[in-house]
Chain A
Amino acid sequence: MDKLNLDRADKNFKKELTRQPGGEKISACFMCRSCTASCPITAVNDTFNPLRIIRMALYGLKAEVLKSDFIWLCSSCYACQERCPQGVSITEFMTLLKNLAVKAGNMPQGIRAQRDTIKGEGRIYPIDDFDNKKRAKAALPPIPTSCEAVEKLFPPARN
């Protein structure tokens, strides 16, 4: 990865993050690398590095973080969060960054597809009559093939 260019830093980014759930304690990070050492993703692909992401965020590299592909590699396994000696909710912080990235227009196709399916159908794998036939054959009860509540909870105006 390239060197960090601090000339482009956004000094307000840290404040913006610490005001939101998941970001409250990131300033407590003292760079021990427990997160990176515990991360199963870093172990197979070092473009994902939780410590580096936290530092980038603290330095105010907003665009570099929110437009990156790497934030999406977090598997939300909580290995880092459970071990952080400073009590930083690292996994929740990664979720916050992903949520902000979506608002900034950065969202992988697969994640978008999941969101659209769930908000449209109420399930990630919608059930059809064929599924229910297979369920009936195995003596399992039928599952509704549509979900009215999801339309009420997420009307087009809210999305």
Chain B
Amino acid sequence: MKYAFFLGCTIPARSRNYELSARKVADKLGIDLIDVADFMCCGFPMKASDSESAQIMGAYNLCLAQEKGLDICVLCSSCASQLTEVAHSLSEAGPQRDRINAELSRAGLTYWGGVKVRHFARVLLEDIGIEKIKTHFIKDLSDLKTAVHYGCHYLKPSEIYDGFDDVENPKSLETLVAVTGARVMDYPGKKRCCGGPVLPVDENVALSVAKEKLDDIVDAGADAMCLVCPFCSVMYDDNQKSIESEFGAAYHLPVLYLTQILGLAMGFNRKELGLNMNVVKTKKLLSQYFE
């Protein structure tokens, strides 16, 4: 199983823990992630100011995967949504594709359609399957109480995702976490946005949105949060301290990537999973799983 591995911008610069743990998990499961050096930004952060340019950037990246004859596997939910949306809108020949191809011609590229884009979690569920993943677990995580955060663009807009999961009643992440034996705590506001896209516009609004979820998760009695997007992680992990000081709260809630939880169950060590790079310390919570 081979995919063009789309890292996007945030992960290689700020979320190397996600990248490291994803590569380890992929390796264990026989997923071949091919690095494509010339990938650029997916275009998502350009959408608000200039949708047309965002679409050109998305299509450029699809072309590079097309040249290699590979589908794309993505770790970031915003990248997943942006690239899937562009692939969806350019899937058929017509004036829209012609218009984008005219722009791409400056880089000597043409997009013909057919590249599929999927989030890493979706690849795990659809191409590997729970039963096979289970066979690689050597540690039981049943003492870990987690709360999953889906975020928005992992599932939405649903019209581009061909029926993957259910926007109003999502299950995919709970399913993946639960196979490790970890407990998955339900909480109100599970589907709420992290607020991240508002961060460059109004920090207080963005942090207020993130705070509501942290409150709900701590009230539900979870020991850790599990997520699949580096943007969301910036809000809950990197900015947790700012939220605490801004609103006089105290959470100390470790924020783990799905791949770190799966990797933990597979027996990888702290460093292999980049757990030393998580901002909220995980050492105490996970001490029983390491020598």
Contact = CB atoms under 8 A, between A and B. Distances in A.
Contacts of A115: 45-46, 49-50
A147 interface: yes
B205 A41 contact: yes
Given A111-B200, A149-B38, A95 B205 contact: no
Given A76-B197, A153-B104, A122 B40 contact: yes
B157 A82 contact: yes
Contact of B10 (A89, A124, A155): A124
A123 B46 CA distance: 10
A110 B201 contact: yes
Contacts of B45: 114-115, 118, 124
B47 interface: yes
A143 B12 contact: yes
Most buried by B among A75, A81, A91: A75
Interface residues of B, number: 54
Contacts of A76: 47-48, 152, 197
Contact of A150 (B37, B40, B158, B167): B40
Nearest to A82: B167
Contact of A123 (B41, B106, B168, B200): B41
A98 B200 CA distance: 14
Interface in A92-113: 95-96, 98-99, 102, 107-108, 110-113
Given A99-B48, A122-B41, A149-B107, 9 more contacts: A44-B208, A72-B198, A77-B152, A118-B45, A140-B20, A144-B38, A154-B53, A154-B56, A155-B106
